Amino acid sequence: MRALLSLSALTLLLAACGSQPPAPEQNPAGVESRTPSGIKVETPPVKEVKPEAAFDPNSIAALKDPRSPLSKRSVYFDYDSYVVKDEFQSLLGAHGKFLAANPKMKMLIQGNADERGSREYNLALGQKRADAVRKALTLLGAREDQLEAVSLGEEKPACSESAEDCWARNRRGDMLYSGEF
């Protein structure tokens, strides 16, 4: 009997909850339609690029053209690291594409280190940096037979001061093309 009373009380309670009148809807804010008036938009004329002045990223001339990413030849590394930074991926992509388009071109990659560390350690680190650049280039289109990776260790510094900004310039991989080495 008790269960029956509890069940009927619960049924009445649920029925009472469901029978409340719905809340009145709110009126949404009106939307104005506005059109600009009296505004003039002027576009500058498009300059025509002549074919002889166009930039060809696969031409040999692009290697020395300062507008070309191919004129940049160094990849810089963090201290005690041989991981290629994300900021150099587009540079390596341009060089990889160039080497793929010019299969007769060869590249020498020279791995460098700063003056800190032993001679043996810096030679090993320089080789790892050169190999990291070589591997990235092969993944981006260059063939293995186009690339040679060597270490110069600390023997070819770009800067000879004993300061962090100078050491940062010495932690690099330099890319040299045929005729430059």
Nearest alpha-carbon partner for 76 in 133, 140, 148, 154 = 133
User: Between residues 57 and 179, which one has the greater pLDDT?
Assistant: 179
- Tens digits of residue pLDDT in 84-132: 999 999 999 999 999 999 999 999 999 999 999 999 999 999 999 999 9
Domain boundaries, the chain: 67-177
- pLDDT at 17 (0 to 100): 54
- Tens digits of residue pLDDT in 157-168: 999 999 999 999
pTM of the model: 0.69
| Amino acid identity for residue 134 in this structure | R
User: Between residues 48 and 160, which one has the greater pLDDT?
Assistant: 160
Query: What are the respective helix, strand and coil percentages of the chain, to the nearest 5?
Result: 40, 10, 45
Q: What CATH number labels 67-177?
A: 3.30.1330.60
Which stretches does DSSP call E strand in the chain?
74-76, 107-112, 147-153, 172-177
